[in-house]
Amino acid sequence: MKRAHFRRQVDGKPVDLYTIRNRRGVAASITNLGAKVLQVLAPDRRGRLADVALGYDTLDQVQAGQASMGAFIGRYANRIAGAGFSLDGKAYWLAANSGPNSLHGGAKGSRFVVFDAKQLDASAVQMSYTFRDGEEGFPGSVPLRVLYRVTEDGALDIEYDAVSVDRPTVVNFTSHVFWNLAGHDAGDVLGHVLQVNADRFLPVDAALIPTGELRRVKGTPLDFTRPRTLGARIDAEDDQLGLGNGYDHHYVLNRKTAGGLELAARIAEPASGRVMEVWTTEPGLQLYSGNHLEGKRPRDVGKGGAVYGRRSAFCLEPSHFPDSVNQPAFPSTRLAAGEWYRGRIVYRFTAKRPVSPRTAGRSGRRSSR
């Protein structure tokens, strides 16, 4: 990727492209516009590197492209029902940028802002942004710091912390990289083999807002407790898959500790042998199967002119549960004045012969279940 294609000002702040790498060739390129991961190089079983993250070649393409692609999402990831919530008895109203709901921090959440960036060394870059009190309707001034590091064991390690400086608020963060372990331009991801460490998920309504139920995955097409291909049941006759147009659901992770770093998911691409593990401190994980990638120009035209069609990527987004601000039974996203929030997401890459899925089927043909 050419750094010169990203070096200009947006909203009066300098934008740039930062590349971090380890000594084995694993690398990531990140722009401070939205703290977006635009490229990740990872080896296959023969040691050959490929770019496994969807992204764009220029800043102009980033601004015309999928807004969430590669972004670090805040101040509030995922959906808030009715674009509003009550905190300590006071109502707050947000931008309704997803039907009647608020999505990913509002009309100009972190995916649209320029972070301050500092390259710490060859393997790490730090990005920071301060959400102002009242920005996008949220209360409280909240400085956010995001540290991206490529580790020697082949991981993209993302650490983040935020503090509510002056008043209570709510926060929810995630990484929204669009992945394809066969290569960003390799077509659909339906043959990827996924396992998620979760016995329950959050059913949604027609607006993709959780109903409040924590439903068992057993007996549903959302069961990835054992390795299965993404495409085996993605078009099954199931009300939840119909609402999401595929997988767009939040899993309740089986956690042993309240905030320790634990394995959330493992996904493998059989042809290349690439395996990606997702480790996190967060309580939940959103699975998105790229249902709204449509090959539209210029939005879905990426690096090297690659056309990103339907289901040509997946996202595994660790975070708190969607709409937690309106669902008291969910883990709280409230941050008191002076309180810190610290989180970590690790995408670790290896390359080996993956475990065969119980259920094959790449085409996504209808299941008889």
- Asked if residue 315 lies in contact with residue 176, where contact means CB atoms within 8 angstroms, the answer is yes
Confidence of residue 361 (pLDDT cuts 50, 70, 90): very low
Instruction: Decide if pLDDT at 74 tops 50.
Output: yes
- Is 176 annotated in the active site? yes
Residue-level pLDDT at 256: 95
Mean pLDDT for the chain overall:
95
Order of all β-strands in the sheet with 155-163? 116-121, 124-131, 142-150, 155-163, 340-351, 274-280, 262-269, 193-196, 228-229
- Percent of the chain exceeding pLDDT 70 equals 95
Angle at the Cα of 92 (from 88 to 95), degrees rounded to 5? 155
**The two three-digit tokens of residue 187, written as one number:** 């077509």
Instruction: Decide if pLDDT at 358 tops 80.
Output: no
Least confidently predicted of 66-70, 154-158, 167-171, 359-363 = 359-363
pLDDT, tens digit (0-9, with 9 covering 90-100), for 13-62: 999 999 999 998 999 999 999 999 999 999 999 999 999 999 999 999 99
Instruction: Kindly name the residue from 104, 176, 184, 320 that is annotated as catalytic.
Output: 176
Element housing 241 (H / E): helix 239-244
Instruction: Kindly name the residue from 135, 184, 317, 320 that is annotated as catalytic.
Output: 317
- Is 192 annotated in the active site? no
According to DSSP, the residues that pair with 155 across neighbouring strands are 348
pLDDT, tens digit (0-9, with 9 covering 90-100), for 102-123: 999 999 999 999 999 999 999 9
Least confidently predicted of 253-262, 288-297, 358-367 = 358-367
Question: Domains in the chain, start-ordered, CATH in brackets?
Answer: 3-351 (2.70.98.10)
Element housing 112 (H / E): none
CA gyration radius for the chain? 19
Confidence of residue 352 (pLDDT cuts 50, 70, 90): confident
Least Cα distance to 21 among 1, 46, 45 occurs for 1
Looking up tokens 């007996």, which residue turns up? 219
**Model pTM score:** 0.94
- Asked if residue 283 lies in contact with residue 160, where contact means CB atoms within 8 angstroms, the answer is no
Long-range pairs, 292-301, Cβ under 8 A, ≥24: 292/245, 293/66, 293/178, 298/61, 298/64, 298/65, 299/64, 299/65, 299/66, 300/65, 300/66, 301/61, 301/65
Q: What span, in angstroms and rounded, lies between the C-alpha atoms of 235 and 247?
A: 9
Instruction: Decide if pLDDT at 362 tops 50.
Output: no
Least Cα distance to 187 among 71, 290, 58 occurs for 290
Distances from the Cα of 115 to the Cα of 1, 31, 135, 200, 229, angstroms: 20, 9, 15, 35, 37
According to DSSP, the residues that pair with 143 across neighbouring strands are 130
Residue-level pLDDT at 357: 53
- Asked if residue 222 lies in contact with residue 367, where contact means CB atoms within 8 angstroms, the answer is no
